[in-house]
Structure 1
Amino acid sequence: MTDLANDNPWFRRYAPCPENGLRLLCFPHAGGSASSFLWLCKKLSPALDAVAVQYPGRQDRYREPHFGTIQQLAGQIVDNLGAVADRPLALFGHSMGAVTAFEVARRLEHTNGTSPVVLFVSGRRAPSVRREDRVHQRDDRGLIAEIKALGGTDSRLLADEEILSMVLPTVRADYRAIETYRYAPGPAVSCPIVALTGDEDPRASIDDVTLWAEHTTGEFDLHVLRGGHFFLNEQPQQVTRVVTERLAGQLASCSPCERGPDPATGRVRSGCVM
């Protein structure tokens, strides 16, 4: 079984987890779920423990209420980080997830006194760049048209009315959360920011993505890859390369933990999930 979750419903692991080393926390896009990072988790080095965030209101959490605002979501994630913050953290967010990861990093630094190793922001303009988007106010047909225009969603799912009736309310609520998000000026984060964007992304111009540099007192790097808003799906090898090369100096030498309980105690080994 590859879809492994620990006891906390907020986080999912899809690859072997090392006993030691660095942990990468991945934040999905609007309408996305933890499984959207399945490919990245599996491609990353076995020395890197990749964990995807599972927002409420989707997949196995579909009965839970929506988080409401990005600020509320970031706060809830930080409140639940005890399960995964037992080692250095790097954050990776795509689109809405980039803003969420940024707000999590701000809270970690300015409330908890800790800092992520690196903040990867993908497919999203800098939080201080404001646009009056109103996709969440469109009817269902208009919302579906936007999803199709951005790509990244299996066309078969968009043609299934039963599935659409289940997911559209969550997609609309996610769009409302990110479109009504307003950056609150404050101290920049101190962790390095690495920005990734597609050269044909209609929602994140290179100029707007470059402005992420203003939100860190640390290093800033920009990687422009071929593709649109979901360039991650088009360039998985390049995205993986950017992440692994940037974190190469941080990775501790370790081997994946064995699955299953310790035969001596019957308990699950530390760092493992079943």
Structure 2
Amino acid sequence: MIYQHWPQKLSTQIEVLAVKLPGRGERFMEQPLVHLDEMIDRLLHEIMPYTDKPLALFGHSMGAMIAFELARKLSASRTGQLSHLFVSAFSAVHLPRPKKGRHLLSDEELKLELRQLNGTNEELLNHAELMELYMPVIRADLELCDTYQFRPGEPLDCGITAIGGRKDVGIHEDDLDAWRIHTSRGFELHMLQGDHFFLHPEADLLLRILEHSLGKQ
């Protein structure tokens, strides 16, 4: 849903292919994935028909981790032309994770964690029945992040742009700048106004950054 307006705001030269993971939207009844390797394999299968053109990957928060590992898999398979990787609101993957075991928190502790991120509507957080439906998906996402094990490898042969929010209490500028070691090409860092979910209020500026980076390919 975050990306539904991007096609209208981006250049017609850029086609937006948004990923909807199991457990979301019309896939709500599907079991969420908690193992990253399985997710990457399934994503690689789905993305193959689109690798006949230059391909860039964008991921926000957990999506940045997924996009990075998918970029690695694409590079290893020598399939298509990976032109750029955009990582948003997520610390460089080789850094120690400051919080683990969040998927094991109690419901109240998890709600407090979500409030600190400021990305979940307060009305939803206070709606017991809806939260009971969403909690399994939230816990699955956190388990995916908490159990992620970075494996050292060669830097990507594509540029990386890291983007963060100046008021993000969990992801700091140094954490984002550390992404630079994962590319053998160019690296850029952009800090925007806002917190962990800056991509909502700063959507227009974010899309200009994407267009500028892709225009240099």
Verify same fold: TM over 0.5. Answer: yes
Number of matched pairs: 216
Alpha-carbon distance between aligned partners in 2 of 1:157 and 1:240, rounded to the nearest angstrom: 28
**What's the offset of the Cα at 1:132?**
4.2
5 Å-filtered alignment, 1:1-274, equals 35-133=1-99, 134-250=101-217
Residue 131 of structure 1, CA deviation? 1.6
Q: Displacement of 1:230 after TM fit?
A: 0.7
Under a length normalisation based on structure 2, what TM-score does the superposition of the two structures give?
0.93
The structure having more radius of gyration, on CA atoms, is 1
Does structure 1 retain, via aligned residues, the 8 Å contact 2:54–2:80?
A: no
Tell me how far apart the structure 1 counterparts of residues 7 and 93 of structure 2 sit (CA, whole Å): 26
Change (3 A) 1:129 1:43: same
User: 2: CA distance between counterparts of 1:63 and 1:213?
Assistant: 38
SS in structure 2 of the partner of residue 89 of structure 1: strand
Say which SS state the counterpart of residue 15 (structure 2) adopts: strand
Q: Distance in 2 between matches of 1:247 and 1:132?
A: 32
**CA offset digits 1:240-272 (Å, max 9, x no partner):** 11011111245xxxxxxxxxxxxxxxxxxxxxx
* Contact preservation (8 Å) 2:87, 2:162: yes
1:202 to partner: Cα distance: 1.6
**How far has the Cα of 1:235 moved from its partner?**
1.0
Cα pair distance change 1:153/1:45, threshold 3 Å:
farther
Contact 1:90 1:118 in 2 (8 A): yes
> Structure 1: how far apart are the matches of 2:53 and 2:171?
32
Scaled by the length of structure 1, the TM-score of the pair is 0.75
- Partner Cα separation in structure 2 for residue 206 and residue 143 of structure 1: 25
Amino acid of the residue matched to residue 14 of structure 2?
L
**Larger helix fraction of residues:** 2
For residues 185 and 115 of structure 1, the distance between their equivalents in structure 2, rounded to whole angstroms, comes to 22
Deviation sequence 1:9-55 (CA, Å, 0-9, x none): xxxxxxxxxxxxxxxxxxxxxxxxxx122233432122211111011
Runs (5+) with no aligned partner, structure 2: none
On the 8 A contact 2:167/2:195 being kept in 1, the answer is yes
Does the 8 A contact of 2:51 with 2:81 survive in 1? no
1:113 to partner: Cα distance: 4.0
What amino acid maps onto 1:44 in structure 2? L
Give the alignment's Cα RMSD to 1 decimal: 1.5
Distance, in Å, in 1 between the alignment partners of 2:192 and 2:98 is: 26
SS at match of 1:92: strand
Give the distance between the partners of 2:117 and 2:202, measured in 1 at CA.
15
**Could you tell me which amino acid in structure 2 is paired with residue 91 of structure 1?**
L
Structure 1: runs of 5 or more not aligned: 1-34, 251-274
| Cα distance in 2 for residues equivalent to 1:163 and 1:115 | 42
SS of the counterpart of 1:176? Answer: helix
Kindly indicate whether the alpha-carbon contact (under 8 Å) linking 1:127 and 1:183 is maintained by their aligned counterparts in 2.
yes
Residues of 1 paired with 2:98 and 2:190: CA distance? Answer: 26
Q: Residue type matched to 2:153 in 1?
A: G
Worse-matched range after superposition: 82-91 or 49-58: 82-91
CA separation in 2, counterparts of 1:39 and 1:180? Answer: 32
